[in-house]
């Protein structure tokens, strides 16, 4: 029967092989996927991902013991300007270890912060390159600052000292310039920076016409995590924002990606406030200068016009006398023309009246003869229709009561009728009525 090894014996054998084979420390580049501190020690997890699929191809646990970590940590943060966090690429000097109970791990003996700086810079360059490919890297920088910068949309943490310093500096300016600010709260440190600041920009965009400029500020205290400002999504938001964006992230050594694409980058929140104040002071000086120039021009123009008016007033008596004489002569000419015109017209009308007076008796005689002739014709017509003459011709008029009889239908048996003749009248009584049928009625029968 084959004798079996215990697990401990096997692990001890592997440990011996490690001790004999890996006697030196090795420099290894890897991405940090996890960082955890406990009792002064730093526990890390290193990973390597496939460049195409982004899937894990290697993973290892690592430890920076307290004695090393107390030296490496401040040096790393001083050099890189930020703490060691997940997502960073590190170049570390490690020694391979295998423990029978805890298995394979790495002991970190040194960290090269310049490698991390290079990786951060590389990632920033890649983002800027992507923005250039999209043609948006200079979009926000190309915007012109409005002449008046009074309505300020501020993205910051409401509890940050930098925000308080910004507001105090802005509103307590020496010139008494008026600014209107509104805070759009956002997380300014850690993994939530990207989403939080993008949401604040979207909220400002909803009322973009209400604002002149956007200020993104973060400051006060020691340098902390800035990696949240080095993302493609946030850079695209800032680069394409329709209002000028001023950044005062509160660090002096390096520019974040949004610093690179923003309209203007300043070092601190108070510097952002000073920028706005100086801009308004320059605009105020510009207006004061123009006001002085306008005042001077108006004063000079008034002096010139006053001199011109005095000159004209000096010439007025002679001009008036000349004008008066010309108008008097013209009036005399017009009066003479009117007089001659009236006299001539009266003579013409007098001649016309003489002609009319000579013709009037002749026209009146002709008119009288014509009217007398018309009267004779009317008299003859009246005699022709005179009832007396008509009765003399053999006609009669029949009446019933006081009405002239025209139709048989006006009578009934027993009625008394009066027939008027040329030489008298006859009274008779109706004993029989006979109506004469019309041709249409006869035709119908």
Please tell me the predicted confidence (pLDDT) of residue 252.
61
- Please check the confidence at residue 17 and state whether its pLDDT lies above 90: no
Percent of the chain's residues with pLDDT above 70 = 95
Say how many C-beta atoms besides its own lie within 10 A of residue 50's C-beta: 10
Q: State the helix-helix crossing angle for 113-134 and 66-80, rounded to 10 degrees.
A: 40
Confidence band, pLDDT 50/70/90 cuts, at residue 431: confident
**pLDDT tens-digit profile of 201-260?**
999 999 999 999 999 998 754 444 577 788 899 999 999 999 999 999 866 655 788 998
Determine the Cα–Cα distance for residues 130 and 177; give it in Å rounded to an integer: 40
User: Would you say 140 and 195 are in contact if contact means Cβ atoms under 8 Å apart?
Assistant: no
Strand pairing category for 245-248 and 264-265: parallel
Please tell me the predicted confidence (pLDDT) of residue 364.
87
Please tell me the predicted confidence (pLDDT) of residue 438.
56
Determine the Cα–Cα distance for residues 186 and 195; give it in Å rounded to an integer: 9
Please tell me the predicted confidence (pLDDT) of residue 162.
87
- Please check the confidence at residue 441 and state whether its pLDDT lies above 80: no
Please tell me the predicted confidence (pLDDT) of residue 250.
67
Phi, psi values for residue 283, rounded to 5°? -65, -40
Please tell me the predicted confidence (pLDDT) of residue 437.
60
Across the chain, mean pLDDT equals 86
Sequence-ordered list of residues with C-beta below 8 angstroms from that of 166, at least 6 positions apart, any chain: 154, 156, 215, 217, 248, 269, 270, 272, 273
| Sign of the CA dihedral running 356, 362, 364, 366 | negative
**pLDDT tens-digit profile of 364-391?**
888 888 988 999 898 888 887 777 777 7
Please tell me the predicted confidence (pLDDT) of residue 363.
86
Range of lowest pLDDT (149-153, 181-185, 305-309, 422-426): 422-426
Two structure tokens written together for 271: 């510097």
Sequence-ordered list of residues with C-beta below 8 angstroms from that of 192, at least 6 positions apart, any chain: 228
Q: Which helix (H) or strand (E) is 215 found in, with range?
A: strand 213-217
Q: How far is CA 368 from CA 16, 282, 286, 431, in A?
A: 166, 105, 101, 58
Determine the Cα–Cα distance for residues 191 and 233; give it in Å rounded to an integer: 13
User: Would you say 157 and 190 are in contact if contact means Cβ atoms under 8 Å apart?
Assistant: no
Q: State the helix-helix crossing angle for 161-171 and 269-384, rounded to 10 degrees.
A: 60
Please tell me the predicted confidence (pLDDT) of residue 7.
84
Please tell me the predicted confidence (pLDDT) of residue 184.
96
- Please check the confidence at residue 264 and state whether its pLDDT lies above 70: yes
User: Would you say 268 and 219 are in contact if contact means Cβ atoms under 8 Å apart?
Assistant: yes
C-alpha torsion angle, residues 239, 240, 241, 244 (rounded to 10): 50
> What average pLDDT does range 339-364 have in this prediction?
88
**pLDDT tens-digit profile of 109-154?**
999 988 877 777 778 888 888 999 999 989 999 999 998 899 999 9
> What average pLDDT does range 170-184 have in this prediction?
92
Determine the Cα–Cα distance for residues 70 and 72; give it in Å rounded to an integer: 6
- Please check the confidence at residue 68 and state whether its pLDDT lies above 90: yes
Determine the Cα–Cα distance for residues 294 and 290; give it in Å rounded to an integer: 6
Please tell me the predicted confidence (pLDDT) of residue 221.
43
Nearest to 90 by CA among 36, 38, 48: 48
pTM greater than 0.95 (yes/no): no
Please tell me the predicted confidence (pLDDT) of residue 122.
79
Please tell me the predicted confidence (pLDDT) of residue 445.
44
Rg of the chain (C-alpha set): 61
- Please check the confidence at residue 16 and state whether its pLDDT lies above 70: yes
Per mean pLDDT, which of 171-185, 207-221, 287-301, 374-388 is the most reliable? 171-185
Query: Which class for 375: exposed (0-12), middle (13-18), buried (19 or more C-beta within 10 A)?
Result: exposed
Question: What is the second-level CATH architecture of the domain 7-111?
Answer: Beta Barrel (2.40)
> What average pLDDT does range 390-397 have in this prediction?
78
Per mean pLDDT, which of 6-10, 345-349, 405-409, 421-425 is the most reliable? 345-349
> What average pLDDT does range 418-431 have in this prediction?
84
Q: What DSSP assignment string belongs to 74-126? A: HHHHHHHSS---TT-EEEEEEEEEEETTTEEEEEEEEE-HHHHHHHHHHHHHH
Q: Which helix (H) or strand (E) is 372 found in, with range?
A: helix 269-384
Q: Which CATH class is domain 136-282?
A: alpha beta
Q: Which helix (H) or strand (E) is 35 found in, with range?
A: strand 26-38
Determine the Cα–Cα distance for residues 401 and 421; give it in Å rounded to an integer: 17
Q: How far is CA 74 from CA 228, 310, 373, in A?
A: 21, 85, 146
Q: What DSSP assignment string belongs to 216-270? A: EE--SSS----GGGS-HHHHHHHHT-SS-EEEE-S-SS---HHHHHSSEE-SSHH
Determine the Cα–Cα distance for residues 21 and 404; give it in Å rounded to an integer: 163
Domain chopping of the chain, boundaries: 7-111, 136-282, 390-444
Range of lowest pLDDT (142-146, 194-198, 356-360): 356-360
Q: What DSSP assignment string belongs to 125-138? A: HHHHHHHHHHT-TT
């Amino acid at each position: 029967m084959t004798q079996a090894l215990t697990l401990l014996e096997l692990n001890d054998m592997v440990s011996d092989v490690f001790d004999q084979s890996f006697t030196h420390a090795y420099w290894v580049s890897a991405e940090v996927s996890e960082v955890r501190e406990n009792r002064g020690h730093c526990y890390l997890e290193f990973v390597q991902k496939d460049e195409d699929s982004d899937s894990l191809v290697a993973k290892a646990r690592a430890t920076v013991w307290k004695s090393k970590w107390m030296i490496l940590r401040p040096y790393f943060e001083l050099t890189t300007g930020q703490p060691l966090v997940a997502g960073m690429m590190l170049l570390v000097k490690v020694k391979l270890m295998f423990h029978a109970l805890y298995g394979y791990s790495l002991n970190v003996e040194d960290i090269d912060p310049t490698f991390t700086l290079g990786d951060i810079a590389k990632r920033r360059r890649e983002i800027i390159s992507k923005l250039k490919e999209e043609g948006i890297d200079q979009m926000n920088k190309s915007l012109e600052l409005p002449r008046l910068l009074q309505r300020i949309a501020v993205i910051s943490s409401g509890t940050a000292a930098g925000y308080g310093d910004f507001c105090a500096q802005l509103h307590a300016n020496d010139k008494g310039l008026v600014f209107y600010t509104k805070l759009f709260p956002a997380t300014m440190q850690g993994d939530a920076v990207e989403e939080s600041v993008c949401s604040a920009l979207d909220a400002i965009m909803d009322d973009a016409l209400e604002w002149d400029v956007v200020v993104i500020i973060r400051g006060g205290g020691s340098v902390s995590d800035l990696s949240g400002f080095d993302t493609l999504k946030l850079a695209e938001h800032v680069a394409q924002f329709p209002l000028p964006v001023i950044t005062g992230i509160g660090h002096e050594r390096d520019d974040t990606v949004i610093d690179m694409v923003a309209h203007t980058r300043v070092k601190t929140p108070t510097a952002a406030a000073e920028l706005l104040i100086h801009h308004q002071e320059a605009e105020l000086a510009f207006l004061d200068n123009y006001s002085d120039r306008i005042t001077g021009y108006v004063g000079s123009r008034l002096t010139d016009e006053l001199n011109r008016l005095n000159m004209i007033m000096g010439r007025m008596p002679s001009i008036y006398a000349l004008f008066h004489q010309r108008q008097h002569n013209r009036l005399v000419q017009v009066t003479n023309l009117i007089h001659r015109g009236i006299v001539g017209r009266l003579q013409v009308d007098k001649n016309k009246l003489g002609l009319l007076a000579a013709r009037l008796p002749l026209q009146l005689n002709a008119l009288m003869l014509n009217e007398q002739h018309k009267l004779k014709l009317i008299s003859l017509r009246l005699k022709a229709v005179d009832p007396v003459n008509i009765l003399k011709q053999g006609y009669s008029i029949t009446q019933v009561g006081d009405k002239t009889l025209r139709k048989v239908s006006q009578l009934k048996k027993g009625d008394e009728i009066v027939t008027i003749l040329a030489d008298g009248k006859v009274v008779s009584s109706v004993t029989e009525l006979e109506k004469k049928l019309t041709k249409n009625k006869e035709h119908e029968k």
